[in-house]
Structure 1
Amino acid sequence: MTQTATSTHNKIKPAAAAMSIVNKAKILRDNAGAVYIQHQVDDGGTRFSPLYDGQFEDWLHLTYLNNTGDFLPMSLVKSIFHVIAARSTTAPCVGDVFLRHGFVNGKQYLDLANEASEIIELDEHGWRMAAGFPVAFRRTPTQRAMATPARDGDATRLFDFLNVDSAEDRMLILATACVMLCPQLERPVLSLIGAAGSAKTSAARFLRTIIDPTDPIYNDYRPDRRELSLVFHLNALPVLDNLSPIPPFVSDMLCKAVTGGGFQARAHYTNASVVAYSYRRGMILTSIQIPTAAPDFLSRAVVIEMNRLTEADQCRGLGLTDRFEDALPGILGGILDVVVEAKKILPQLKPVALPRLMDFGHFGAAVAEIVGFGAAQFLEAVRENGRRYRKRGSGSAAPSGHEPLLTAILKLVGGGGGFDGITSELLDAIQPYAPTSLGNGQRWPDSAEKLGVAIGKIRADLADNGFEIIKKASRWGTRIVIHAQEPTVACIVEEPASPFAGEGAGPVNSVPEADCGPNCQDDHDSWITEIPVQVVPETVEASLLVGDQSLPNEPDQEDAAPATETPCQSQSCLQCSNCMRVHGDEFFCGIEMAGDIREDVEAAIACPSFLSSSQSAFIEDWDEGAYISAF
């Protein structure tokens, strides 16, 4: 009896000692329901550890040994974890928990992960060392301390250490480096490709050392879902080096990691406990060729092709790592300065068109504007980068089996002539390029109606190949216009002008400012075409005559009052040399046609003031002209 009591007493003592350690820690949970333990560490600092990632368990074993001089029985660990999980249901929520880069209440945070546990706070007013712990960060065993950023640094010194020559590629890399610090944004895959000896691995190492230094720098890649999810979970900026072609499921996982993904599995095979990883990551890949031609991957990637270094270039690289370490604080400080200034002008930056990763396009355009490259030029560089490598990687990758149709249209308009006609005419025009046989799941339209539907499905793919398609109603059927896209992307930066813009750069505005006189109250930020305005006589009740044709039930031209160029007196439309606006419930200003009638009318319809009107308009074809009807 005494032996049994003594045995029971001995079993209780280790459990009590272990729970006394746990009770001194703080149990927390994040917005996703993951459980964390906040506890003191030997250096006097505070550690924020996920329950199931091993760090807390290691700390528990070590603390138990220091307190009792004995080892914590493994039989107790499982029970302790169950108790903590049960308590976590009523634990306080800390919101989002970040790895290295955080964002709370409009401010960026950067965990330097150094011995002093310093955190940088950044907003449009500048960057500074944060007081206390304004945001919850978790740390991993492989993290290394970041360099302490220097004031008045220079971000462009980064390119003293990268084998990248073109201004466009340098701007894409700098914008990517800045965006990688912003976890609230969708960040791209930076894919560095090139032959052996092109220094792509070195470039990846330098970029990661700036943004998320770890040991090892490069992550081990295995084509396994759980292992790859663990890489994303444990690394703020994963780097996968020297990739061979990757299978489709890996490409899908990379895409999900960019836009936000996760992984869930049983924690132990003996029970129903679940371990879950959630993440949203930018990343860096290096490979000799693009690792996959999947369109979803390429639409999320910024591909930088690097040239092979000569032996003389390699000799000049001696001591490059030491020089980089010396320049590192200034480079990081310069990047933080650029991010601060980019955040200042971001609200005034209004791109007309953005890439699939809109966050990257918008913020990257602000970065480009700050350093003097230009926001519109940056967006065009992103667009051209995606187009170039989608062509190289996959040719025509249209959805829903419409690859043959996309290929045929590209062959038809590839010579630069474009197409302008109704749907049945387009169907006849592409017949010479029809495939002799269709692959599994591929389609070919056999009627104008099916072609009209299919055209809408490949519109984005035509844009990726540099062509714009416009569909409009006409008297003879749906009119299809296919033409090459303009080489520039309009982008407007409102005042104030960029303080860091280059000489003569100023705020980017690809659209010329309209000069309409003191009476014009319209905003011309996104107008592109200048159209002279002419007032329509009030005797015309239903439509504007253009060309030589007279419409039924219309007054003859010679009976109508002559058109004048006096300002329109309607309260809803002041005379403006750039716009055609509908007059409320009455009529609308006309345009004096010159040159190609159809182009002039289309330009007028493109005016956003016209499109935003409460009225509607459409173009109808005539033998020798066009007219606009309002109703």
Structure 2
Amino acid sequence: MSDPFARIKKDQATKSKRTQPCKVIVNPVPDEAPEPPAFHPKLGVPSYRWTYRDLSGAVLGYICRFDIEGEGKSFRPLCLFRVEKKLRWRWESWPQPRPLYGLDLLANAPDASVVIVEGEKAADAARQLLLQHVCISSSGGSNAAKKADWSALHGRDVVIWPDADEAGEKFAGEVKACLDEVGVASVVVLDVPEDVFKGWDAADALHDGWTCEQADAFVCSVSEAKPSDGEAQEEAESKRPAPRSSLLAAADGIELWHSPQKEAFATLNINGHQEHWAVSSTRFKHWLVGRYYEETGAAVSSQVLSDALRVFEVRAIEQGACYEPFLRTGKTQDASWLDLGDESWRAVCITRDGWEVVDSPPVKFVRKPTMTALPEPCKGQMIEEMRHLINAEDEDYKLIIAWLIASLWGRSNSYPVLALGGEQGSGKSTMARLLRSLSDPCAVAASSLPKDERDLMVMAQNGHVLNFDNVSKMENWLSDAICRMATGSGFISRKLHTDGDAYWFHGSRPVLLNGIPTLTERADLAERALSVRLKRIDEEGRQPEDLFWHEWERLKPGMLGALLDGLSAAIRNIDQVHLERHPRMADFARLMVAASSGLGWEDMEFLEAYESNRRGTIEAVFEGDPVAVAIHEFVMGQHGGENWMGTATELYGELIKLVSDQIRSSRFWPQKVNAFGNAVDRAAPLLRSKRIQVTKKATGSKRLIYLDVI
């Protein structure tokens, strides 16, 4: 028996006096919520932060990872609570049952099979490898599977990809038990490869250089449960591998062809229309297996299927015709084409005389698993009918429409970058979703920035428009890569870490960015960009999202038709357009002058808005470049507007005298002369707009910089 007179411990006394504040989880996070903290009070800034969303895409909270030197990794949930009538972010998890990571993706692809992995990092990696699946996870790792709400998977086909360790096996078992309770259509657990290290998962597969085809083959390799020993011999005899000749014969009638890059494709006749798929795609494999089953009533082994696919690939490249495959937009000699992305594979043909929906387009449009359908366009509408949904100035509205026109133009070899800026509450993400839905609708409407050029290349191969949401910082390498993506360039990488085969993308893509800070700080990106500042939506002007999207769905067919009217006018007028001056995106400017009459604009109306936007953007970039500002002040002020000549060292010494200590110590000011020379090159186009021409010439042993006032 405990002593009733024993001294009360300090922590017990504290607990007895302390009353816990009343707190309630707030889900989803409302617009009026404060910004979540950028760092943990003890663990510091997270190395990763994953956003959890509900089925409609609204934010539910975050999971943050902290990499602590000497201690390893640590995870902390971050959720919004109402504490004593105030909204506060707390480093606490959701109450049970907890939401899944990827609920919004489940809602966007209701018919896709689901792959469950352990952890958010593995889920992100799996999404890059398994484009035709929905890849999700639960919070809390292997010990918290039972705490998640798995009900959203009711009636779905599910594959579990466990980590290669005991914890992964435990996680898979607990998830399978939970799924059996919620009533999934089917659930299977993958057998991890035998030659991988302990703890291997989808993130490691991506790091090892797995391709989408490898990952898909791994997921699709799941076999049914093995028969009992007494039945094994009888079943083996009844399911012998199908002869390769029978599988090849079952595919008679398909058209095999290849692209100029020697990629193999097949054209299939399905339900009265033609579909074009890569021979290596999952869709073609599924069609082939289904066709064989219809012909023979038997299943085909993976080895026979693999052998047949190699034969089809050789036939397509060696014997098939060469065609250009198009993604969403295409062209023929006299027309521009737009793939509607519907189940009937219809497309819109745009000519100088107008446009029409065609049931059997002659161009070879290819599809990606995440592509969704555009509405069937309607005629007789004006583009100004959507003006009330765009919270921007009139000039910026014209630039937004111009970006849409360029995105739908099948003859484009380059596209402007649309950078949507504005303070919190200006509807940047909503506006980006709206524009994406009218140019290249996708099951994943927006994504985070790629981590490297390879990721950017994969994104470009799987979508026509690249939409990056909530961009807070633009790294130099990414700015350069987006410039190349906008004006047309090539990206090449090694297909696998174990061989030297090339994996590449060549072409251009429309790019859409949105974020609070200025996203076009570098001069080269600014020259290729349309910088649009959205106005803040006050409480009186804000409307519920369901009403907004209902209104947009009503207008969308007519607005697409109005854009197509503009494209038809462009085809009709473009040969007669001659610009007095050619900006960096000259083809884009020429296209929009030609399209203006079809949009109901005056001839010079767009050019005035475009030039005004370019001047404003260049001025903002100039003011943000301390080297350009310092050179301008030196030449036009201290040097009296006279020409100057000298070495980089001499110019650097002159500018050091002008700039403040604060600028000299900032990360934007070059600390060495060689870095200063590169900064002068980047500042050259900005200084040219200020009537200062920068020229570098090698004279004898010196490399001189000429600053000429023009």
Same fold (TM over 0.5): yes
2:396 aligned with 1:172, yes or no?
A: no
Q: Could you tell me how far 1:410 is from its partner in structure 2?
A: 2.0
Q: Secondary structure at the match of 1:110?
A: strand
Q: Do the aligned partners of 1:153 and 1:329 also contact (CA within 8 Å) in 2?
A: no
Q: Do the aligned partners of 2:257 and 2:264 also contact (CA within 8 Å) in 1?
A: yes
Separation in structure 2 between the aligned mates of residue 61 and residue 298 of structure 1, nearest angstrom: 50
* Aligned partner (choices 314, 317, 335) of residue 86 of structure 1: 314
Q: Which moved more, 1:22-31 or 1:199-208?
A: 22-31
* Residue aligning to 1:439: 671
* Aligned partner (choices 678, 691, 700) of residue 467 of structure 1: 691
Q: Deviations over 1:108-140 (max 9, x none)?
A: 011112233222111222112346322110012
2:258 aligned with 1:29, yes or no?
A: yes
* Residue aligning to 1:74: 302
Separation in structure 1 between the aligned mates of residue 437 and residue 544 of structure 2, nearest angstrom: 21
Aligned letter for 1:179? A
Q: Secondary structure at the match of 2:578?
A: strand
Aligned letter for 2:632? L
Q: Which has the larger radius of gyration?
A: 1
Q: Do the aligned partners of 1:233 and 1:278 also contact (CA within 8 Å) in 2?
A: no
* Aligned partner (choices 516, 521, 545) of residue 293 of structure 1: 521
Separation in structure 2 between the aligned mates of residue 272 and residue 457 of structure 1, nearest angstrom: 35
Q: Do the aligned partners of 1:239 and 1:285 also contact (CA within 8 Å) in 2?
A: yes
Q: Do the aligned partners of 1:418 and 1:482 also contact (CA within 8 Å) in 2?
A: no
2:282 aligned with 1:54, yes or no?
A: yes
Separation in structure 2 between the aligned mates of residue 22 and residue 66 of structure 1, nearest angstrom: 11
Q: Do the aligned partners of 1:412 and 1:418 also contact (CA within 8 Å) in 2?
A: yes
Q: Which has the higher contact order (CA 8 A, sep 6+)?
A: 1
* Residue aligning to 2:585: 357
Aligned letter for 1:16? S
Separation in structure 1 between the aligned mates of residue 315 and residue 500 of structure 2, nearest angstrom: 18
Separation in structure 2 between the aligned mates of residue 80 and residue 56 of structure 1, nearest angstrom: 12
Q: Deviations over 1:290-331 (max 9, x none)?
A: 346333322222111112211111137661111111111111
Stretches of structure 2 lacking an aligned partner (at least 5 in a row): 1-235, 658-663, 665-669, 696-705
Separation in structure 1 between the aligned mates of residue 520 and residue 609 of structure 2, nearest angstrom: 21
Q: Could you tell me how far 1:144 is from its partner in structure 2?
A: 1.8
Q: Secondary structure at the match of 1:302?
A: strand
Q: Secondary structure at the match of 1:310?
A: coil
Aligned letter for 1:97? P
Q: Could you tell me how far 1:354 is from its partner in structure 2?
A: 2.4
Aligned letter for 1:440? K
Q: Could you tell me how far 1:363 is from its partner in structure 2?
A: 1.1
Q: Do the aligned partners of 1:48 and 1:138 also contact (CA within 8 Å) in 2?
A: yes
Q: Do the aligned partners of 2:378 and 2:557 also contact (CA within 8 Å) in 1?
A: yes
Q: Secondary structure at the match of 2:540?
A: helix
Q: Deviations over 1:156-176 (max 9, x none)?
A: 222221211x22101111111
* Residue aligning to 1:249: 477
Separation in structure 1 between the aligned mates of residue 458 and residue 694 of structure 2, nearest angstrom: 46
Stretches of structure 1 lacking an aligned partner (at least 5 in a row): 1-6, 398-402, 446-453, 472-478, 484-631
Q: Do the aligned partners of 1:94 and 1:136 also contact (CA within 8 Å) in 2?
A: no
Separation in structure 2 between the aligned mates of residue 26 and residue 336 of structure 1, nearest angstrom: 31
Q: Secondary structure at the match of 1:13?
A: coil
Q: Do the aligned partners of 1:153 and 1:334 also contact (CA within 8 Å) in 2?
A: yes
TM-score of the two chains, using structure 2 as the length reference: 0.57
Q: Secondary structure at the match of 2:365?
A: strand
2:639 aligned with 1:411, yes or no?
A: no
Q: Deviations over 1:190-216 (max 9, x none)?
A: 111122221111211211211222223
2:451 aligned with 1:226, yes or no?
A: no
Q: Could you tell me how far 1:11 is from its partner in structure 2?
A: 5.8
Aligned letter for 1:174? I
Q: Do the aligned partners of 2:255 and 2:267 also contact (CA within 8 Å) in 1?
A: yes
Q: Do the aligned partners of 1:354 and 1:379 also contact (CA within 8 Å) in 2?
A: no
Classify 1:215/1:456 alpha carbon distance in 2 versus 1 (closer, same or farther; 3 Å): closer
Q: Deviations over 1:11-38 (max 9, x none)?
A: 6634233222344322101222221111
Classify 1:172/1:104 alpha carbon distance in 2 versus 1 (closer, same or farther; 3 Å): same
Classify 1:63/1:455 alpha carbon distance in 2 versus 1 (closer, same or farther; 3 Å): closer
Separation in structure 1 between the aligned mates of residue 281 and residue 618 of structure 2, nearest angstrom: 39
Separation in structure 1 between the aligned mates of residue 439 and residue 496 of structure 2, nearest angstrom: 34
Classify 1:394/1:79 alpha carbon distance in 2 versus 1 (closer, same or farther; 3 Å): farther
Q: Do the aligned partners of 1:365 and 1:375 also contact (CA within 8 Å) in 2?
A: yes
2:587 aligned with 1:366, yes or no?
A: no
Q: Do the aligned partners of 1:240 and 1:284 also contact (CA within 8 Å) in 2?
A: yes
Q: Do the aligned partners of 2:289 and 2:299 also contact (CA within 8 Å) in 1?
A: yes
Separation in structure 1 between the aligned mates of residue 250 and residue 491 of structure 2, nearest angstrom: 31
Separation in structure 2 between the aligned mates of residue 231 and residue 208 of structure 1, nearest angstrom: 15
Separation in structure 1 between the aligned mates of residue 592 and residue 454 of structure 2, nearest angstrom: 32
* Residue aligning to 1:540: none
Q: Do the aligned partners of 1:176 and 1:364 also contact (CA within 8 Å) in 2?
A: no
Q: Deviations over 1:465-498 (max 9, x none)?
A: 4436599xxxxxxx99746xxxxxxxxxxxxxxx
* Residue aligning to 1:18: 247
* Residue aligning to 1:65: 293
Separation in structure 1 between the aligned mates of residue 522 and residue 335 of structure 2, nearest angstrom: 35
* Residue aligning to 1:184: 411
Aligned letter for 1:439? Q
TM-score of the two chains, using structure 1 as the length reference: 0.63
Task: Please show how residues 377-416 of structure 1 align to structure 2 within 5 Å.
Answer: 377-393=605-621, 395=623, 404=627, 406-411=628-633
2:328 aligned with 1:328, yes or no?
A: no
* Residue aligning to 2:509: 281
Separation in structure 1 between the aligned mates of residue 682 and residue 301 of structure 2, nearest angstrom: 63
Q: Deviations over 1:87-113 (max 9, x none)?
A: 233233343211111112141011112
Classify 1:88/1:268 alpha carbon distance in 2 versus 1 (closer, same or farther; 3 Å): farther
Separation in structure 1 between the aligned mates of residue 578 and residue 292 of structure 2, nearest angstrom: 58
Aligned letter for 1:73? S
Separation in structure 1 between the aligned mates of residue 550 and residue 481 of structure 2, nearest angstrom: 36
Q: Do the aligned partners of 2:352 and 2:571 also contact (CA within 8 Å) in 1?
A: yes
Q: Deviations over 1:407-448 (max 9, x none)?
A: 344225768x997756579x9xx9996334973245899xxx
Q: Secondary structure at the match of 2:342?
A: coil
Q: Which moved more, 1:386-395 or 1:79-88?
A: 386-395
Q: Which moved more, 1:242-251 or 1:106-115?
A: 242-251
Q: Do the aligned partners of 1:243 and 1:287 also contact (CA within 8 Å) in 2?
A: yes
Question: RMSD of the TM alignment (CA)?
Answer: 3.9
Separation in structure 2 between the aligned mates of residue 356 and residue 89 of structure 1, nearest angstrom: 38
* Aligned partner (choices 384, 387, 392) of residue 156 of structure 1: 384
Separation in structure 2 between the aligned mates of residue 457 and residue 290 of structure 1, nearest angstrom: 18
Classify 1:441/1:38 alpha carbon distance in 2 versus 1 (closer, same or farther; 3 Å): farther
Q: Deviations over 1:53-111 (max 9, x none)?
A: 32212222333334344433222333223222322332333432111111121410111
How many residue pairs are counted as aligned between the two chains? 454
Q: Do the aligned partners of 2:573 and 2:595 also contact (CA within 8 Å) in 1?
A: no
Q: Secondary structure at the match of 2:343?
A: coil
Q: Do the aligned partners of 1:171 and 1:373 also contact (CA within 8 Å) in 2?
A: no
Q: Deviations over 1:378-410 (max 9, x none)?
A: 33433443343344356476xxxxx85x43442
Q: Do the aligned partners of 2:404 and 2:439 also contact (CA within 8 Å) in 1?
A: yes
Q: Secondary structure at the match of 2:477?
A: helix
Q: Which moved more, 1:373-382 or 1:173-182?
A: 373-382
Aligned letter for 1:253? A
Classify 1:153/1:192 alpha carbon distance in 2 versus 1 (closer, same or farther; 3 Å): same
Classify 1:267/1:468 alpha carbon distance in 2 versus 1 (closer, same or farther; 3 Å): closer
Q: Secondary structure at the match of 1:307?
A: coil
